[in-house]
Amino acid sequence: MKIALFSYKSYDKEWFDSHLAGTGFEINYFRVELDESTAAYAQGNEVVCAFVNDDLSRPVIARLSELGVKMIALRCAGFNNVDLEAAGEYGLPVFRVPEYSPHAVAEHAVALILGLNRKTHKAYNRVRDGNFSLSRLIGFNLHGKTVGVLGTGKIGKVFADLMHGFGCNILLYDKFPDTSLAKKGYQYVDLGTLLKQSDILSLHIPLMAETAHIINRATLSMMKDNAMLINTSRGGLINTEHAIDALRKKKLGYLGIDVYEQEEGVFFHNLQEQIVDDETLAILMSFPNVLITAHQAFLTREALDEITRITLKNISDFQNGLTNENQVGAPK
């Protein structure tokens, strides 16, 4: 079975090549992101393996189907970039990797919190430059603070446990609460209470029509003054312009993001020698209380092992005419 793997980075090739033995699969690696203009690379491959910023909208799916592609294997959990209805209509099953390491993402959310709070990235640069001054490096104790977890699925749960370990009070909100979490001393509240009472709010819900811009002018105004907002989920959960406004007004105290609304074409690329033509991102980068990483929360060795193993198993199941719980789009 031939697989066209889009948006590949050196670590993708390293991991997939090391897991290929005995599968009978052949992988053709393409650096380009998948979109209408690059879909033609998939010709001759039965499977397209795609990542978070590959475009799997209706016209791309139609083109892939025309080229003979039979299956879409996402090597990520989120599938907001896939038009599932179109995939169903064109008979292309879509598989994903729903859980590869909730710990990887939850731990990165904690890294953003610690970085923003204790300013280790700034201290590192100062010390390297011979500046041993401590001015403007004051942080706060996490112990005793209230942490709001928006979305208590696989990642949100691990994140809640980690923050509980720091001695934080944990408030939760989810459309489908998990009652077992109450036994740990965590409390489910309504969204309004979560926003009003959290010193730190971390987003762990998927991006869908109903969650798009869930953080906007209205919800930001309900947050505590000087609160910290963390997003390791999907950029579209936050209305970035509204967040910038809240930062300007000193309503929002800190913003830590691993994902950004307009990250396609920017995140995952080395643009060091280029002018990044994104004024919103430039404004965000100019704030001293904003910490941005480029969608790296998943990037641990353990997570890469799981992503590779499960993606290849999904393809193998498809080849053998099987389905499994990782399928998100059922052909019509």
Query: Which CB sits closer to ligand NAI, 39 or 194?
Result: 194
Give the one residue of 35, 258, 261, 306 binding ligand NAI; rule: CB under 6 A. 258
295 is catalytic: yes
96 is catalytic: no
What are the E-state strand segments in the chain?
2-5, 26-29, 47-50, 71-74, 94-95, 146-150, 169-173, 187-188, 200-203, 227-231, 252-257, 290-292, 327-329
Binding segment for ligand NAI (CB under 6 A), chosen from 60-68, 152-160, 244-252, 312-320, is 152-160
Fill in the per-residue mask, 231 to 250: x = in contact with ligand NAI (CB under 6 A), - = not in contact. Answer: -xxx----------------
Cα–Cα distance measured from residue 227 to residue 288, given in angstroms and rounded to the nearest whole number:
15
175 contributes a contact to ligand NAI by CB under 6 A = yes
263 is catalytic: yes
DSSP-based three-state secondary structure for 332: coil
DSSP-based three-state secondary structure for 252: strand
Binding segment for ligand NAI (CB under 6 A), chosen from 112-120, 170-178, 242-250, 310-318, is 170-178
Query: Which CB sits closer to ligand NAI, 144 or 177?
Result: 177
298 contributes a contact to ligand NAI by CB under 6 A = yes
Cα–Cα distance measured from residue 187 to residue 149, given in angstroms and rounded to the nearest whole number:
10
The Cα-based distances of 13 to 9, 16, 308, 316 in angstroms read: 7, 5, 10, 18
Smallest distance, Å, CB 40 to ligand NAI?
Answer: 29
The Cα-based distances of 231 to 60, 105, 179 in angstroms read: 28, 10, 24
Helices (H), 129-228: 154-165, 191-197, 217-222
Smallest distance, Å, CB 296 to ligand NAI?
Answer: 7
The residue annotated as part of the active site, out of 33, 261, 263, 306, is 263
Binders of ligand NAI in range 66-105 (CB under 6 A): 77-78, 99, 102, 105
Smallest distance, Å, CB 91 to ligand NAI?
Answer: 25
Q: Which residues pair with 188 in a beta bridge?
A: 172
# residues contacting ligand NAI (CB under 6 A): 28
The residues that are catalytic are 234, 263, 295
Residues that bind ligand NAI (CB under 6 A): 77-78, 99, 102, 105, 151-156, 174-176, 204-207, 210-211, 232-234, 258-259, 295, 297-298
